[in-house]
Structure 1
């Protein structure tokens, strides 16, 4: 079976090993002549980034790069990126990297022609209609991790550096026009990042599958996404050069982000404030939160996970699935508590208030309250 294809759901995806070579074609397709490659500091000097800049330069597209991006990108990173974008006379963005590089790259393109502050476009009601669609530059997304799925998303998560609150900025045109999903770019990921990003994809699928909203397409995608992570993340973790495992995980990441159009839930509602306040790795934080959230949601989701467990080859229905999740975390070196990641008990009330304001709350199958959210934080810290 050839792991290659050209997909248009949810956007045009050039999927397969070595397809980063098609970047100039993607730029031509979107009308970019002077692209700015946006990535994070950790990727700036890596061979995959240098090679991508070489491809751009050889095609006459220059080799402009902006990499002053924090692990949890904020509005100061965005302002700096916009300055570089405008000073360079750029006409589009190549968002390159994991969640942080992709999210900030998408926002540089989005804000390049807007006149209001970025917070005015938060994912609340119809705030996205405040944006001028003509002021959104074209975006090509190139993921280098297999986790967030931000390459197929219509939003970015930006942390407010003053309040330490993660805000979701949404616009339909933030969806990249072309995605180059080349699993060879993920081969050099360290084990801890392979695990954390892979479990982020898993959390997206689990929460989408748990969400009470109606979206059968997402439900099917979430189920198969869980299977791919279960089968292939251990292989990618054990042998980073296993290109089949890397390809299947890259598919699972895009599937998770496509599926969560159906909704996210308590895992993300908890993990967003923790990441914003303590700077923890998002996917790893999700993984630590998952067992406790599954226990909270059990009355509402046990029946559907009985079916999922059968498909996933897990015995014992929902209870078996819960046992599997903890064992899976353990096998991938995930901490059992947030205290192991430097999260203290002194700010639980503040984290609880932030979690209850997070838009992910709306997709949780059990209504979240100050009481049950605080109890979750007590348990996972």
Structure 2
């Protein structure tokens, strides 16, 4: 059965097949009259995007679209998008696509009414009190993949084009006012993207579940999110038009991003700099480094992952869980290591430095330092 529901946690979510038809209602609920649809270059000319623009135009909302979004969106993309937004006199953003489009769309909404350059507002500290909250316009998020969960996040990840580092822009009002999760929009997604985004959702749940921080609500959400990925990602990978599997993977993505309020860890601390420098797919990179990170964290997470394995129906405790991850990666054709992923001539010292500067480091179950992080990175190649 394909689920349909309305949720208000952590924001208003319209979940179900065909619910993109409610885009005009969602705009009305947020007060948007001249929205800008932000998507990526690959989606801009696809039928699902044109159909959404048709719905907007029929409702008198225009069909303005900005699609100059790189796979790892940059500050240059943001600057161009903000100019497009302001020049068009828009009053809200529809972020439409995968994590890249969602992150950039949210940043455009954030920057629409700010007066300083983007990096003045960078970082996760102090709830971004430097920002003019009244200058942040409404956001509607429409994910077309099932992985990042940016549609329910209060942050955007943007690459600094000068330093090639991924940095965070954070504000409570970056949480979209309305999310439309329509699994039909993900039908036919290529297998590689299905695998990478699905493993991103799994990584979010796994790292949140493993985080030493106290957050029982996130803990439970993370555990069930892992189960959904275990049960439905292989189905979505095998049949791109399995809408039931696609729906449950969209739920897993929402759950992973909600759960990681509890914190992420070494998987993301490593994946972020590799993606920024070598332009790898984020979720696929997470999948590639997942087993090395599990070995790295074993002493601190073994008992906890024994509990997870039991819930997931995986025999063998930690070793069984570890083996399951490897088998899942193999079944999804995930590269064996970072070399196979295409990371050539890496500057290990620079990657170590960037990994240790990543906010995820502080939440890893095992304390990370230059020596053990270097050893971990080398094991990933």
- Structure 2 residue aligned with 1:244: 244
SS in 1 for 2:125: coil
Q: Which residue of 2 aligns with 1:129?
A: 129
Cα pair distance change 1:151/1:124, threshold 3 Å: closer
Distance 1:362 1:10 in 2: 24
Match of 1:105 in 2: 105
* Aligned-residue offset at 1:262: 0.2
- Give 2:183's aligned residue: 183
Shift of 1:119: 1.2
Report the TM-score when normalising by structure 1: 0.99
1:146 aligned partner: 146
Instruction: State the partner residue of 2:84.
Output: 84
Q: CA deviation at 1:124?
A: 3.5
Query: How many Å separate the matches in 2 of 1:56 and 1:346?
Result: 45
Q: Residue 307 of structure 1 corresponds to which residue in structure 2?
A: 307
Moved over 4 A (4+): none
Cα gap change, 1:135 to 1:265, in 2 (>3 Å): same
For 2:332 and 2:247, how far apart are their aligned partners in 1? 19
C-alpha separation in 1, matches of 2:101 and 2:231: 27
**Is 1:187–1:240's contact at 8 Å kept on the other side of the alignment?**
yes
C-alpha contact 1:121 1:127 (8 A) present in aligned 2: no
The question of 1:282 aligning with 2:290 is answered no
SS in 1 for 2:158: strand
Unaligned runs of 5+ in 1: none
1 CA distance for matches of 2:283 and 2:47?
24
Match of 1:47 in 2: 47
Q: Distance in 2 between matches of 1:87 and 1:111?
A: 14
Corresponding residue number in structure 2 for 1:223: 223
Q: Distance in 1 between matches of 2:210 and 2:155?
A: 21
Could you tell me how far 1:2 is from its partner in structure 2?
5.4
**Aligned partners of 2:2 and 2:244 also within 8 Å:** no
Q: Secondary structure at the match of 2:129?
A: helix
2:90 aligns to what SS in structure 1? coil
Q: Is the 8 A contact 1:272 1:355 kept in 2?
A: yes
The aligned length equals 381
Higher mean C-alpha deviation, range 264-273 or range 125-134: 125-134
Corresponding residue of 1:324: 324
CA contact (8 A) 1:345 1:378 kept: no
1:31 aligned onto 2:61:
no
TM-score for both structures, normalised by structure 2: 0.99
Q: CA RMSD in A?
A: 0.8
Alpha-carbon deviations, 1:328-372, whole Å to 9, x = none?
A: 000000001111122134411110000000001011000001111
In the TM superposition, 1:50-89 aligns within 5 A as: 50-89=50-89
- Residue 127 of structure 1, CA deviation: 5.7
Counterparts of 1:81 and 1:45 in 2: how far apart (Å)? 18
SS in 1 for 2:163: coil
Alpha-carbon distance in structure 2 between the residues aligned to 1:196 and 1:342: 15
| 2:366 alignment partner in structure 1 | 366
**Distance (whole Å) between structure 2 residues aligned to residue 176 and residue 126 of structure 1:** 20
Deviates more, 1:122-131 or 1:42-51: 122-131
Per-residue deviation, residues 309-330 of structure 1 (Å, max 9, x unmatched): 0000000011100000001000
**In 1, distance between residues paired with 2:374 and 2:253?**
30
Q: CA deviation at 1:116?
A: 1.5
Match in the other structure for 1:375: 375
What is the alpha-carbon distance in structure 2 between the residues aligned to residue 61 and residue 54 of structure 1? 10
* Structure 2 Cα separation of the partners of residues 139 and 181 of structure 1: 14
Residue deviations 1:176-215, cap 9 Å, x none?
A: 0000000000002100000000000000000000000000
Does the Cα contact within 8 Å between 2:6 and 2:15 map onto a contact in 1?
Answer: yes
Aligned to 1:349: 349
CA distance in 2, matches of 1:8, 1:90: 26
Q: Distance between the aligned counterparts of 2:122 and 2:216, measured in 1? A: 27
CA contact (8 A) 2:127 2:172 kept: no
- SS at structure 2 position matched to 1:142: strand
CA contact (8 A) 2:74 2:158 kept: yes
